[in-house]
Amino acid sequence: MGNYSVPSGDASPLRVLLVEDSVLLAARLVQFVRRLLYAQVVATVDTESDAIRYLYESCPDVVILDLHLRKGTGLGVLRALNGATHPKVIVLTNFALPEYRRAAEALGAYAFLDKSRDFGRLSALLLGFVEERSGPRGGAA
């Protein structure tokens, strides 16, 4: 994992909320996001209620969301956001079953990733969010 440069323009870093109950994976995700340079972690939480509270307090641009939490579920977090303007949500789970994927997508998840197979896709997704937010390259947004 190397450093990734900031896209052209003066875009502020993506604000990322991590919702993960594995202490080891949460630490790995924090290090991963720090290396991206165009993103920053605003908080790391491990319960549904803390995730919902931080969503409204920290107004992140992106949420990286586990489905199985210490208390509650990632689907509960998505339900709390349903119908509201909310950040891009990337579900990152060990339980990448089709029924979970359908439920997460129906509740507004932007992406649904398997922790063991799709971890490498995170940086491309986050960079895409930065580029989407900053408008066309080389021109005014």
Q: State the pLDDT confidence band at 11, using cuts at 50, 70 and 90.
A: low
Strand runs labelled E in the chain: 14-19, 39-45, 62-65, 88-93, 111-114
Give domain 14-134's CATH number out of 3.40.50.2300, 3.40.630.40, 3.10.450.50, 3.20.20.70.
3.40.50.2300
Sequence spans of domains, the chain = 14-134
Q: 């579900």: which residue's tokens?
A: 91
Tens of pLDDT, residues 59-117:
899 999 999 999 999 999 999 987 666 799 999 999 999 999 999 999 999 999 999 99
The reply to whether the predicted model has a pTM over 0.85 is yes
